[in-house]
Amino acid sequence: MITIVFCAAILSILIIFIRILFEKHFGKNYLKQKENFKKDYSVYIMGKKAKALYLTEAAVFLFGIGYLFYHNTKIAAIFSIIAVFYPKIKCRSLLDVRNHQLNMQFRDALYTISASVSAGKSVENAFKEAAQELCMIYPDPETDIIREFMIIKTQIEMNVPIEESLEDFAQRSLSEDIRNFAEAFITGKRNGGDMVEIIINAAGIIGEKLRIKEEIMIVLAQRKLEYKVLSVMPIFLIGIFTYCAGGYMKPVFETEAGLIAMTTALVLLIAAWQIARKIMDIEV
């Protein structure tokens, strides 16, 4: 009988091999999102190559889980079909990561703008120079905040009011911080408010909010590690018992009661994963 260590090694090697194969044929950027000039941050459009990679990885993983729990290749194959839903789940995860990164990048942009306006530069010039400054902070020209500030810079040079450019960016983003800043900026600009104070205060508030969120993430990091270990333990124990006590586990895989028990265990395990994920998903 195949040991759990051998099965885990085979699955790991298969997933690594799949990633290497995709990178070799499609280059290192095959996972990048397909984008238009102006990005809609409420959706994540996954490319066909990335979708194929995640689909293949999920199918291999689910086949292994199905075989481990039922020792039946037909049931394992049915499990692997569920992988068709994984790209959508991955899109939601990547969307959250991208929007969190956008918030962090916007904070850096506000710090740059506040430094410029504090030095006596006009708001328009501060936004235009911020696009260049951000290129030094983020070397990748496709970084979201660089793309957005390049759009704002181009529109300013075309005599488009900065309020319109900022409002367009805020509407496309899912960030409450960006939308609040845009509203405060537009109101202050139209009513003749102190733009320097508005920008500096906004940078401070957003920076403090993100700092608190980072502290929470650090506190949760250990708990997340424990959660991942505990999530793997039932799978590991099933493999160990199957290898060390094959005769004892045989009824579990061959009787109706055993199959019901394994199905119940799998459902409870998935429910525990979801509950733990919800508990640790803290909004600031």
Residue 179 forms part of a structural domain: yes
Residue with more model confidence, 31 or 235: 235
Residue type, position 132, single letter: Q
Range of the domain at 197: 99-211
Q: Mind listing the pLDDT tens digit for each residue in 61-93?
A: 899 888 888 888 899 899 989 988 999 889 988
Residue 239 forms part of a structural domain: no
Q: What is the pLDDT of residue 190?
A: 81
Q: Long-range contacts for 133-136 (Cβ within 8 Å, ≥24 apart)?
A: 134/105, 134/108, 134/109
Q: Mind listing the pLDDT tens digit for each residue in 216-226?
A: 888 888 788 88
Extract the tokens encoding 227: 């959660």
> What average pLDDT is seen over the chain?
82
Residue 136 forms part of a structural domain: yes
Instruction: Among 105-109, 144-148, 189-193, 210-214, name the one with the lowest average pLDDT.
Output: 189-193
Residue type, position 152, single letter: I
Question: Cα(203)–Cα(199) distance, rounded to whole angstroms?
Answer: 6
pTM of the model: 0.76
Number of domains in the chain: 1
The CATH number of the domain holding residue 103 is 1.20.81
The contacts of residue 234 (CB under 8 Å, 6+ apart) are 265, 269
- pLDDT higher than threshold 70 for residue 163: yes
Residue 9 forms part of a structural domain: no
Residue 197 forms part of a structural domain: yes
**Distance of CA 96 to CAs 102, 175, 179, 218, Å?**
10, 11, 17, 18
Rg of the chain (C-alpha set): 25
The conformation of residue 34, written as its DSSP 8-state character, comes to: P
- pLDDT higher than threshold 80 for residue 27: no
Residue 40 forms part of a structural domain: no
The HSE-up count of residue 24 (CA atoms within 13 Å, CB side) is 6
Residue whose pair of structure tokens reads 């009787």 in the numeric block:
255
Residue 84 forms part of a structural domain: no
Q: What is the pLDDT of residue 7?
A: 55
Model confidence band, residue 30 (pLDDT cutoffs 50, 70, 90): very low
Question: Cα(61)–Cα(56) distance, rounded to whole angstroms?
Answer: 9
Residue 150 forms part of a structural domain: yes
Q: What is the pLDDT of residue 5?
A: 46
